[in-house]
Amino acid sequence: MFDKSSGKAAGSASPEGVKRVFRQPSIKDIARLARVSHPTVSRALQNSPLVNPRTAEKIRKIAAESGYRASAVARGLVTRRTRTIGLVVTTVADPFTSEVVSGIEQTANDHGYSVFLADSNADPERERKVVQAFAERRVDGIIVTSSRVGALYLPMLSEMMVPIVLVNDQHPGAFVHSVMICNQEGSRAVAKHLVELGHRRIAYLGDKFGYQSDTERYAGYREALDAAGIPLYPELVVHGDGKPEAAMQAMDTLLALKSPPTAVCCYNDMSALGAMRSIYMHGLRVPEDISVAGFDDLFVASYTQPPLTTVRQPMRRMGKLAMENLLKLMSGEESEVKIKVEAELIVRESTARVK
C-alpha cells in the first residue's frame, strides 16, 4: 500500500497529526521502484517477449510484493473492452432463471468475463431501461432471458452498438439472435403421451399473458388432440400466470365442471404444483383421479408427490449456448441467428392410464 499524501510506501514515517491516505500502487510506482520506464512495466506485466526476462521477473516480483492489481477500467480505455456482460432476468426467484444464469456465468467466467445481473420484474419498460443502462456502462454484450420486449430491440441496436442475445424470447418477431426451446414439439409430446394413456378430456392450463411460449405450447397441445381426433372443449382451456397460486384457482374452475378433465397439461412446472395442490384440496388423487403434466423439469419436479411428468428444458445448456453465441458476436465471428433446443419428455408417476 502507498501513502498518497507523501508518495511513500505505507508504514514510512510521517509528521505526527498528519492523516495518511492509502491507495493501491500504480504502474508509475512500480516503474520508480524497478528503475525502468512505464512502458517497460506495462509490457512486463503483459508477459511481452520484448522485455528482458530478468528485468520482467524483477518487475513482477515488485508488483506482487507491493500489492499491485491491474485496473480493468484502464485496460478498457486501451482495448475498448470491459470484459463485462449485462444479464437481464425477469426475476431472480424463478428456478428456471437460476439454472439458465448458472450456464451463462460459468461460460462467461471460463472466457474471462464478469457478469452484471439485473432484474426486470417482468416489466417491459423496466427491461428496456435496464438494457439501455447496461449499454451506457459499456458492457461488451447483453443477454436477456424471457424478454418482454423482444423484437422491439431491433431499432435500438444501431444506437447501442452492443450485441444482444435473447433466451426464450416471449414475443414473436424477427429478432436477430436468440436461443429458444422447441415449445410446440415438447407440448405436443406430453399431450400425445396423455392421449396414449387413454385420456380424452385433457385440459390445458396456460399463461394468461399470452407470451410466445404459451402460444407455442398451446399449439402443440392442439396438434396432439387433432392428430388423435379428439375435439377441443373450450371449457377445458383455462389460464393462470405461471405461478402456483393462480394455477390453483384455474384448477378449481376445471374441477367445478360437470365433466371435469381426466388429465391436464400445465404451462410450466410451477403451474403443475398449483394444479396438484388444488386436486388434493378437493379430496382427489394424482394420478388415480387426474393425471398432471408440467413443462421445464425444474429440480422440484422429481421431488413432488408423486414425481411430476414434465418436459425437460436443458436450462444450463441454453445459458451456455446463449453466452457462446454472444462471444461469437462480440468477436465478429459467424453466429447462428436462431438456436432451437430440443425438448425431452420425462415420464414420471403423475400421469397414468385413465380408468
- Tell me, what's the pLDDT at 152? 59
Digit-coded pLDDT (tens) for 254-280: 999 999 999 999 999 999 999 999 999
Digit-coded pLDDT (tens) for 276-328: 999 999 999 999 999 999 999 999 999 999 999 999 999 999 999 999 999 99
- Tell me, what's the pLDDT at 160? 64
- Tell me, what's the pLDDT at 252? 98
For the chain, which residues score pLDDT lower than 50? 1, 3-22, 73, 76-79, 158
- Tell me, what's the pLDDT at 10? 47
- Tell me, what's the pLDDT at 73? 47
For the chain, the residue count is: 355
- Tell me, what's the pLDDT at 7? 44
Report DSSP letters for 258-274, one per residue: SS--SEEEESSHHHHHH
Which of 118, 126, 123 shows the shortest CA–CA distance to 84? 118
- Tell me, what's the pLDDT at 79? 46
115: left (phi over 0), alpha (psi -120 to 50) or beta: beta
**And the C-alpha cell for 241?**
400466470
- Tell me, what's the pLDDT at 97? 87
| Angle subtended at Cα 60 by Cα 54 and Cα 62, rounded to the nearest 5 degrees | 105
| Residues in Cβ contact with 132 at an 8 Å cutoff, skipping those fewer than 6 apart | 156, 160
Q: Return d(Cα 345, Cα 355) in angstroms, integer.
A: 23
- Tell me, what's the pLDDT at 94? 79
- Tell me, what's the pLDDT at 48? 79
Q: Please, where are the H alpha helices in 161-228?
A: 183-196, 212-227
Digit-coded pLDDT (tens) for 52-61: 999 989 988 8
C-beta of residue 282 within 8 angstroms of C-beta of residue 222: no
In the chain, the domains with their CATH numbers are 2-70 (1.10.260.40), 80-181+315-342 (3.40.50.2300), 183-314 (3.40.50.2300)
